[in-house]
Structure 1
Amino acid sequence: MSVRRFLPAAGVVCALALTAPALAGPGDLRAGHAAAADRHHPGASSGRDPGTGALPIPQALRGPTTTSGTVSWPVAPGVTYTRWERNDARGPVRVHLLSVNPAEPGVQLDYAGPARVRRTARVVDLLARDAAVAGVNGDFYDIGHTGAPLGLGRDRQRGLLHGRQSGWNAAFYLDAAGVPQIGEITLTTRMAQHPRLPITNLNSPFVRPGGIGVYTRRWGRAAGYEVTDGRRTHVRAVQVRGGVVRSTSTTLTHGRPVRGTLLVGRGEGARQLRRLQPGDPVTLTHALDPDPQVAITGSTILVDEGVIQVTADRVQHPRTAVGIDRDTGEVLIVVVDGRSKASRGATLAELADLMIDLGADEALNLDGGGSSTMVATKPGGSPAVRNHPSDGFQRSVANALEVTWTDPS
């Protein structure tokens, strides 16, 4: 189904109202550490706002969804911005859409982020770094703590910036041929001298219990015990510079710029790092499977091969999502406004329904809530925020999915 066929017509009835399953934290977190689990695996928004309850109206009683107020303009060749309002028995919803044809000469999709992984910035400022014509907020991030994104990020120019071995790996990416894909990406980090070391994280906001985190200059300033969930025992830091261990310590420093490479171990990972002594050589390699040109992760795959993968239909939030229409080759980037009288937001099931209505065969949920921000350029104008962020202002976020256009002539 094409986007253009969907927009003028009435929408499609939302999915069945089902109780949302609780999102579990990482399996290696012990019972009673609910706060840490919420930080590591937020359900809907980095801000952890509880959202608003959706009216539990059975599908048969919801009636048709109507659409109105469609506004659209070309952002660049192959890139179109569209806005419209939907209304159903649950209330009004405002939707913003970027339709991107990555095959159009001059159009590129890319990861946008600050100079350091720990920093945050407004979406409009992240996009300005690359003179992007449009984009949206990206991955969930460690708001209020390190500020770093939870998952994996690969920039077209800068390469791999951050990632996890497992636990937050559902990604939108461009494969080796530049074709848009949605699926799991696995990060493997190895130390040539000790290939069995349990290295689990790269420039990540926390080190997995029992694992080892790698921090490089791209991380920024050392975050101390924030990366160990405040744990001060059974931890170890190893400083590597010039490919050689310079120091090893059971104390984690805070606020100093990472120079060279910093290894941080927890539990068994800390015990394993005791094998490294000053003067020992260290060679680290990173591998991604698959190996993408560009990648950015999100929390949940909404649609896979045309089939909805979520049932959560009770809590509404502002939402951001990205999908792929295999029929047209278009990438569909969506923001749903929320937490206002003009737009109530969407449940995950409604968001998945919307992506299918637009023609998406695969779709991924990105960070929502106050982070949801869409920027697009008007003809003859400059990039500006087109939705209504629910905080009342642009939130500083960890990264973004951007669209750039360069005149191919």
Structure 2
Amino acid sequence: MKQRLSKARTVAAVAVAWGVLVGGAAAGTTRANAADGGLTRSTPVRLAPGVTYTEFRMPLSRGLVHGHLLTVDLSAPAVTVDLLHPAAVAARARVSELAGERDAVGAVNGDFFDISEAQHPGVEATGSSVGPAVSSGRELKAAVPNGQRFGPALPPGATTEDVLGVGYDHRARLDRLALHGTIRTPHGSWPLRGLNQYALPEGAIGAYTAEWGQVSRERAVCGTDTDRAAGCDTDAAEATIRNGRVVETAERPGAGVIEPGSVILLGREAGARRLRTLHVGQRVRLAHRLASRLPGRLRCAVGGFPVLRNGHPAGGLDTAAVTMRTSAGIAHHGRTLLLMALDGEKGLHQTGLTVRELADLMARLGARDALDLDGGGSSTFVTRDQHDEEQVRNHPTDGRERRVANAVGVFSTG
């Protein structure tokens, strides 16, 4: 998908940047009050009923912060929000492609994901996201252990189960989704501790469905609960369940398409030893759900970690690493969703933010709660243009769109 940022718009952006840096109000922008630290915003553009687009700029001593913001009125009857994702959990796609496939009005990239397995030679990176994923009410996957997370270290108190959720009540919220699952066998009931995850807890059994895709499941038995880089466990076993019965067993993680209606159970250490007691023909029943901490069914959920709660930055946020950021904010008691991504265009003295600075920014933009999503080269902001095509509004730092695990999409029937 080509970026439709014209030369004229680039020149205008430079002019606005200089206007902000010298303290003047540039044409087409509105100055925030002094408490906003010089934050300026362009005049909001209505993309669809309940959805507006704004650019903003904020000067810092090291450069100019330039970002893009979607403001979504979740109480508008025409508006819905959903998780966009490729055809498989273990796959990646560009945000513009995901948005175009479902005619989204706008979208930003979502959760951190398994992008590299340099520590495990010969093991394929899965592309699967870190946290839980729910799309159109369908539970796609659960969270990997905290120590298996790909991305920056979690701040104190955060877990890989943290999500931004949007319910069928048209309210957004910060929540946590924990996997509750049981495997019932002739040998007793065992806990199910994984669902379509690129990493399983030590000693656990996880389930892989057709939604996982055809990528090898070998990564699931690499690393430990506290060390992502630890080696891959050779004590592993699988059992394929179809129509409630064991139809196949194996002594190592497999790959390839999983037939619809089939479930592959993969165990490591103690979990593998349990699976080896199963034999072809035995009955096995599975039950699982992603349990929310808050009442109300979620239409969608995407993983990340909280940076802002009740208008205050979360404790222990990083103040050193500066990069481009993507974030989702919540305002007006969950009735408003703010989707933000920074611009990584080169040559305009632009800068990124630390996580702590991101929390401050989201508060200035009006959020009471906010979640940090994947950033750096993944930060992508897409809206539909006047030609009904998906336009990448920001400049990803890689110079092109990165393929990502999922995205947050906004829809309006107006």
- Per the normalisation by structure 1, the TM-score is 0.80
Supply the AA of the counterpart residue of 1:276: L
Task: Tell me the equivalent position of 2:304.
Answer: 299
C-alpha distance 240-186 of structure 1, shift in aligned 2 (>3 A): same
Distance 1:328 1:238, change over 3 A: closer
Counterpart residue number, 2:258: 258
- Specify the SS of the correspondent of 2:253: coil
Deviation of the 1:181 alpha carbon = 0.8
RMSD between superposed Cα atoms in Å: 2.2
Q: In structure 1, which of residues 171, 174, 177 is the aligned counterpart of residue 169 of structure 2?
A: 177
Among 371, 386, 392, the residue aligned to 1:385 = 392
| Aligned sequence identity (%) | 33
Which of 304, 323, 327 is 1:317 aligned to? 323
Asked whether the 8 Å contact 1:75–1:379 carries over to 2, the reply is: no
The offset of 1:226, in angstroms, is: 2.0
Q: Is the 8 A contact 1:317 1:339 kept in 2?
A: no
Query: What is the identity, as a one-letter code, of the residue corresponding to 1:161?
Result: L
Structure 1: 5+ residue runs without aligned partners? Answer: 1-5, 14-64
Matched, 1:75 2:80: no
Contact 2:171 2:334 survives alignment (8 Å): no
Comparing 337-346 and 398-407, the one that deviates more: 337-346
How far apart are the structure 2 equivalents of 1:339 and 1:133? 23
* Cα gap change, 1:224 to 1:203, in 2 (>3 Å): closer
- Aligned equivalents of 1:11, 1:162: Cα separation in 2: 44
Aligned equivalent of 1:191: 183
Distance 1:195 1:349, change over 3 A: farther
Determine whether 1:239 maps to 2:246: no
Give the corresponding residue for 1:353. Answer: 360
- Rate the CA distance shift 1:192–1:12 in 2: closer, same or farther, 3 A: farther
CA contact (8 A) 2:164 2:172 kept: yes
1:335 aligns with 2:315: no
Distance in 1, Cα, partners of 2:400 & 2:338? 24
1:367 to 364, 374, 389: 374
* CA distance, structure 2, for counterparts of residue 92 and residue 8 of structure 1: 15
The one of 207, 210, 217 equivalent to 1:214 is: 207
2:104 matched to 1:132? Answer: yes
CA contact (8 A) 2:306 2:370 kept: yes
Query: Counterpart of 1:127 in structure 2: which amino acid?
Result: A
| 1:37 matched residue in structure 2 | none
| 8 Å Cα contact 2:145-2:200 kept in structure 1 | no
Partner SS state of residue 75, structure 1: strand
**1:284 corresponds to:** 286
The one-letter code sitting in structure 2 at the alignment partner of 1:185 is L
SS of equivalent to 2:211: helix
Distance 1:283 1:7 in 2: 60
> Which of 117, 131, 152 is the matching residue for 2:132?
152
Residues 323-357 of structure 1 show CA distances to partners (whole Å, capped at 9, x for unaligned) of: 11025821011112248443211110111001111
Contact 1:111-1:295 within 8 A present in 2 as well: yes
Q: Is the 8 A contact 1:211 1:268 kept in 2?
A: yes
Is the Cα–Cα contact under 8 Å of residues 165 and 187 in structure 1 kept in the other structure? no
Provide structure 2 residue ranges, at least 5 long, that are not aligned to the other structure. 1-28, 117-124, 147-159, 223-230
1:296 and 1:84 map into 2 onto residues whose CA distance is: 27
- Does the CA-based 8 Å contact 2:144-2:201 persist in structure 1? no
Match of 1:60 in 2: none
| TM-score, scaled to structure 2 | 0.79
Q: Which amino acid aligns with 1:100?
A: V
Worse-matched range after superposition: 67-76 or 306-315: 67-76
Partners in 1 of 2:33 and 2:60 — Cα distance? 10
Q: In the alignment, residue 236 of structure 1 is paired with which amino acid?
A: A
Partners of 2:30 and 2:264 in 1: how far apart? Answer: 51
Q: Is the 8 A contact 2:165 2:174 kept in 1?
A: yes
Equivalent residue number for residue 150 of structure 2: none
Residue 3 (structure 1) aligns with: none
Range 305-314 or range 79-88, more displaced? 305-314
Pick closer, same or farther for the CA change 1:274–1:361 going to 2, 3 Å. same
What is the CA-CA distance between 1:232 and the residue it aligns to?
4.7
Opposite residue 9 of structure 1, the aligned amino acid is A
Letter in 1 for 2:326: T
What is the distance in 1 between the residues matched to 2:133 and 2:356?
Answer: 26
Measured against aligned partners, the alpha-carbon deviations of 1:138-169 in whole angstroms (never above 9, x if no partner) come to 11111130111111111116x11111376411
- How far apart are 1:70 and its partner, in Å? 2.2
Is residue 82–residue 96 contact of structure 1 (8 Å, CA) maintained in 2? yes
Whether the 8 Å CA contact 2:51–2:71 is kept in 1: the answer is yes
SS in 1 for 2:339: strand
